[in-house]
Amino acid sequence: MHFTFNIDLGQIVGSVITAVVTLLVSHSIVNTLKKRISSNMIAALLKHPRTTIKEILVKHRILEFMLVGGIGYSINMAIYYPLTLVFKSDVLILGQHFYLSPFLISSCVAITSNYFMNKAWTFKDKDTQKQSYLRYLSTYIVTVIAEIVLLWLMVDFGHLQPSLAAAIAILIMFLSRYTVVKRWVWHK
């Protein structure tokens, strides 16, 4: 009996990088939770889990941010996939792979729609702050660059489909984006 193993170094590297990023994000979440969870909160969670979780979500506005993010994610992916068909796999733009430019375009549309939804609903910011959109935009520019790097790593080294890799990259960056937006863009 003879076994043949095909080892793809790129896939191994991509999987390791994805695992490391996931661990770093998870570690950050755990540390944040450790700082904010008190013994009273744990007792309330055990006694009335549904009510306590709802109160936490409302207090930190994360539920609204998640819903806006979900709408933005849907907008992003609805625009992204058709654009990948337009750009085709053999098209290179500025020497980059075909799936990166459509992601940048679809992300810009989603970012702008998310800003207005978060401003009106999540953070209920009726005041017009000139710097709020610029701060929001700069936050998203940094996180979109991180998403593009993750997308590239997962497609080129992890051999994932571009649409799946784009979805994973967006989800990985969600929590860091929320934290920065809450503390820097709409701090009160």
List, for residues 66-105, the tens digit of each pLDDT value. Answer: 888 889 888 988 898 888 777 766 555 555 566 777 888 8
Residue at 112 is within a domain: yes
Rounded Cα gap, residues 85 and 118, in angstroms: 30
| Domain range enclosing 31 | 9-185
Do 186 and 132 contact (CB within 8 A), yes or no?
yes
Tokens 């549309």 correspond to what residue? 109
Residue at 66 is within a domain: yes
Residue at 109 is within a domain: yes
Total number of domains constituting the chain: 1
Do 45 and 34 contact (CB within 8 A), yes or no?
no
Of the chain, the end-to-end C-alpha distance in Å amounts to 69
pTM equals 0.59
88-103 burial code (b ≥16 CB/10 A, e <16): eeeeeeeeebbbbbbb
pLDDT the model gives residue 6: 47
Residue at 1 is within a domain: no
Q: pLDDT 10s per residue in the chain (188 long)?
A: 554 444 455 545 555 555 555 555 555 555 555 555 566 767 776 787 777 777 776 666 777 888 888 898 889 888 988 887 777 665 555 555 667 778 888 988 998 999 989 888 888 776 656 678 888 889 988 988 898 889 889 988 888 888 788 888 888 888 788 888 888 887 76
Tokens 């109160």 correspond to what residue? 55
Rounded Cα gap, residues 133 and 115, in angstroms: 7
List, for residues 170-183, the tens digit of each pLDDT value. Answer: 888 887 888 888 88
Residue at 2 is within a domain: no
Rounded Cα gap, residues 10 and 32, in angstroms: 33
